[in-house]
Amino acid sequence: MTQRQILQAMSGLMAGMFVAILAGTVVSNALPTIIADLGASQSSYTWVVTAELLAMTATVPLWGKLSDLFNKKLLLQLSLLMFVIGSLLAGFSHDTTLLIFSRVVQGIGAGGLTALAQVVMAAVIPPRELGKYSGIFGAVFAVGTVAGPLIGGVLVDTDWLGWRWCFFIGVPFALLAIALLQRTLKLPTVRRQVRIDWLGAFLIVAGVCALLIWVSLAGNQFDWASWQTAALVLGGVLLLVLAVLVEARADEPVIPLDIFRNRTVTLTTVASLLVGVAMFGGTVFLSQYFQVSLGKSPTVAGLMSLPMILGLLVSSTVAGQLISRTGKWKGYLVAGAVVMTVGLALLSLIDADTHFGLLSLYMAVLGVGVGMLMQNLVLAAQNDVPAAELGAATSVLSFFRSMGGTIGTSVLGAILANRVADETAKGLEKAGAAGGAEGGSGGGHSVPDMSTLPAPMREIVEHAYGVATAELFLVATPFALLALVAVVFLKEKPLKTTSGMERLAEEAAAAGAAPDQDRTTPVV
């Protein structure tokens, strides 16, 4: 593909990636309104969030493996179509049962987009040139992650739109992506007669779902030390042990276990997991801090995240360009991990009285670090695996990053709720008020309605959320430090100058069996 063709295909990939990220973030500020409008319970609130995240995280490895076996373009369009169906179902939902089901469909589609967009990039762009494009993708990821809550807040605050447009807004982007990919993405059809390891796939999905349901609901729906915890953890671990045994014997495993013999893949996977815990676990509660502790509206809370977006945009784009120009990548990963750790440590100093200028600086530092680190971990792994395993390697990194985010969000959310309750109780005791910290934690996930609280109580809750949010960043900082350790032990290898498709042809030729490419008929 020429440079112009690559840029055209990239437009479709970027639209698809933006849709995938937006699906998970746009509802965060809108959920209280959605649940109230549907007359649902706190349990439903949790499942609307958890269902999409579970489906996306659990299916990423499956999409990655399918991309190594079947037509990547068709799979990418199929995942976009699933996202469209899920979004329309969610937008027209009149009860939480349909809404939760639609979020599962959305999540499966988003899982495909998360894995396949990067796999397709690696197939058509050599690693040496991939840095600058990965930088653009990192910027898209940043905008979708941080701007989603802003868009959701604006839609909810706009009377003539409402919360249903939080789901409808992604549909035109997805349809545009399908059309652009059909027009611009040209990939050879590689035919491989294989048996898919459906048993391994089922065991992986079931085991991961059991563990993710545990970390998502523990501390909220049931205690961390309870029979539900024991059942989910033991069941999840047993299923994953069985999955490992099945995968070790399968001809075409969903996650090839020998991929972890590669030092680069193992270290980047560990780093991705830790980045997920630190970044998602730390930043997901910023919107709540803005609204509760600083007293801002959903729209303003979204706007206040802009310094982090800008930091991510600038650092991911600049680092990507420099990596492509110099061919050196490890220094940017190490620098990104250091800056991310510093940013989280600085954010652990905030409270209810922190000046927005200082807060903006701290968020920008965190954004710069994440921008240099996150996408370039994928680049390092893709550069060091056989082309036949590009899909598996890419999806493994995406899977562990998503799982880290889920674990971080759940565990840190429980810490936040407990700390808010403790600080509120202390504040009430200091003020001489009787009773406990009722309503202090806001029910774990829900945000207290500050406008209904009397001034003295409002000050206590604002202080409690300020202290608790700072503690979350303090807890997240060691995870970023561990990610730095993993990155330091990476061995820098020269970036390859051939694309994934060219490498696949070379590997097949070396094995004495060139891939069967049908160039006489239109490619799907």
Beta bridge pairs of residue 224: none
Beta-carbon contacts of residue 340 (< 8 Å; ≥ 6 apart): 275, 278, 279, 366, 369, 370, 373, 480, 483
Spatial distance between the Cα atoms of 50 and 209, rounded to a whole number of angstroms:
10
Pick from 108, 27, 21: which is nearest to 375 by CA? Answer: 21
Residue 2 has pLDDT above 60, yes or no: yes
For residue range 135-180, what is the model confidence (pLDDT) as tens digits?
A: 677 677 767 776 777 787 788 777 778 888 888 888 888 888 888 8
HSE-CB at 388 with a 13 A cutoff on CA atoms is 15
Mean pLDDT of 461-470: 86
Residue 494 has pLDDT above 80, yes or no: yes
Which two three-digit tokens encode residue 451?
A: 């406008």
Beta bridge pairs of residue 222: 218
Model confidence pTM above 0.75? yes
Q: Does 319 or 301 have the greater pLDDT score?
A: 319
Residue 386 has pLDDT above 50, yes or no: yes
Residue 341 has pLDDT above 60, yes or no: yes
How many other C-beta atoms lie within 10 A of the C-beta of residue 71?
Answer: 18
Whether the Cβ atoms of residue 274 and residue 404 lie closer than 8 Å to each other: yes
Spatial distance between the Cα atoms of 433 and 243, rounded to a whole number of angstroms:
55
Mean pLDDT of 15-27: 77
Spatial distance between the Cα atoms of 245 and 239, rounded to a whole number of angstroms:
10
Beta bridge pairs of residue 517: 190
Residue 492 has pLDDT above 80, yes or no: yes
Highest-confidence range of 228-242, 383-397, 445-459, by mean pLDDT? 228-242
Beta bridge pairs of residue 190: 517
Q: Residue 517 has what DSSP assignment?
A: B
Portion of the chain with pLDDT greater than 70, in percent: 87
At 342 the pLDDT is: 95
Spatial distance between the Cα atoms of 505 and 274, rounded to a whole number of angstroms:
35
Give the model's confidence band at 130: pLDDT under 50 very low, under 70 low, under 90 confident, else very high. Answer: confident
Spatial distance between the Cα atoms of 202 and 320, rounded to a whole number of angstroms:
37
How large is the C-alpha radius of gyration of the chain? Answer: 23
In the block, residue with structure tokens 């369009």: 77
Pick from 277, 396, 316, 368: which is nearest to 14 by CA? Answer: 316
Pick from 302, 371, 439: which is nearest to 27 by CA? Answer: 302
At 14 the pLDDT is: 82
Spatial distance between the Cα atoms of 189 and 520, rounded to a whole number of angstroms:
11
At 433 the pLDDT is: 59
At 190 the pLDDT is: 57
Sign of CA dihedral 415, 148, 268, 80: positive
At 197 the pLDDT is: 76
Helix (H, G, I), strand (E, B) or coil at 222: strand
